Amino acid sequence: MRFLLIPLMLVAGLGLLLCALAQLAAIAGLLPSLQSHLSESVQTAAATILGGGIFAVWFPAVLLAQRINSGGRAKFSWKQVLAGCPPWMIYAVYGIFAYALVNFLLAIASRDTDMAKGVRLFSGHAMVFYGAAFCIFFSSWRRPDLLRTRCCPAGHEVAHEDRFCPVCGLAVTQGAEGS
């Protein structure tokens, strides 16, 4: 499983980079120039690949995040999912999310209906998915123990950050892994 994380990280990182470049081109007003140099089929292919790439990386990212959180949606924790990421990477993904939100609000507040607005909206949202997926893959690659189930001495499943079993109260050792 771990061998798949590197290609998934590469796809997510490349998608994030291309969406950031599209975002910059839209903001700087360079889209008309790019359109004149690229055929319509190339433009369509690029949009399709960027859009499809989100699904290619997001489904595995969600499955990994659920595995790290022991499948529980009620106790979902980004802190736990991103435990393998350095602090700057966590701040960066939260910053991308904040940027996408502000970008969305500014785009819908403007009266523009040109292609640049559509590119800004799409690439801003896509950056969130690519960035979060990259961080989930990186966290799982750096801390493979996050994907393993931890158990207390009595065999109850416990979260990665728990020191004591919530069921029986027994102390959980660092390497207490189950299936």
Number of domains in the chain: 2
90-127 per-position pLDDT tens digit = 999 999 999 999 999 988 888 777 788 888 889 999 99
Pairing state of beta strands 150-151 and 157-158? Answer: antiparallel
- Mean pLDDT over each residue of the chain, to the nearest integer: 87
When pLDDT is averaged across residues 3-20 and rounded to a whole number, the result is 94
User: Does residue 161 share a domain with residue 87?
Assistant: no
Give yes or no: residues 69 and 157 share one domain: no
**What is the domain extent for residue 172?**
150-179
Q: Are residues 132 and 164 in the same domain?
A: no
Residues 121 and 49 in one domain: yes
Distance CA 118, CA 47 (A): 11
Crossing angle for the helix pair 5-28 and 40-68, to the nearest 10 degrees: 130
Same structural domain, 68 and 111: yes
Q: Which residues pair with 157 in a beta bridge?
A: 151
CA gap 13, 113 in Å, rounded: 29
What's the alpha-carbon Rg for the chain, to the nearest Å? 20
Please indicate, yes or no, whether residues 143 and 70 belong to a single structural domain of this protein.
yes
| 134, 170: one domain | no
Looking at the fold, whether 25 and 86 belong to one and the same domain comes out as yes
Q: Which residue has the higher pLDDT, 73 or 45?
A: 45
Cite the beta strand spans of the chain per DSSP E. 150-151, 157-158
Same domain, 176 and 129: no
- Helix, strand and coil content of the chain, in percent to the nearest 5, comes to 70, 5, 30
Across 52-87, b (16+ Cβ under 10 Å) vs e yields: ebbeebbebbeebbebbbeeeeeeeeeebbbbbbee
Intra-chain end-to-end CA distance of the chain, in Å:
15
Residues 103, 168 within the same domain: no
Determine the angle formed by the axes of helices 87-109 and 115-142, rounding to 10 degrees. 160
Indicate whether this model's pTM tops 0.85: no
Say yes or no: 172 and 114 in one domain: no
What pLDDT digit, counting tens, does each position of 118-144 carry? 888 899 999 999 999 999 999 999 998
Q: Are residues 50 and 70 in the same domain?
A: yes
As a dihedral over the C-alpha atoms of residue 101, residue 107, residue 108, residue 111, rounded to 10 degrees, the angle is 170
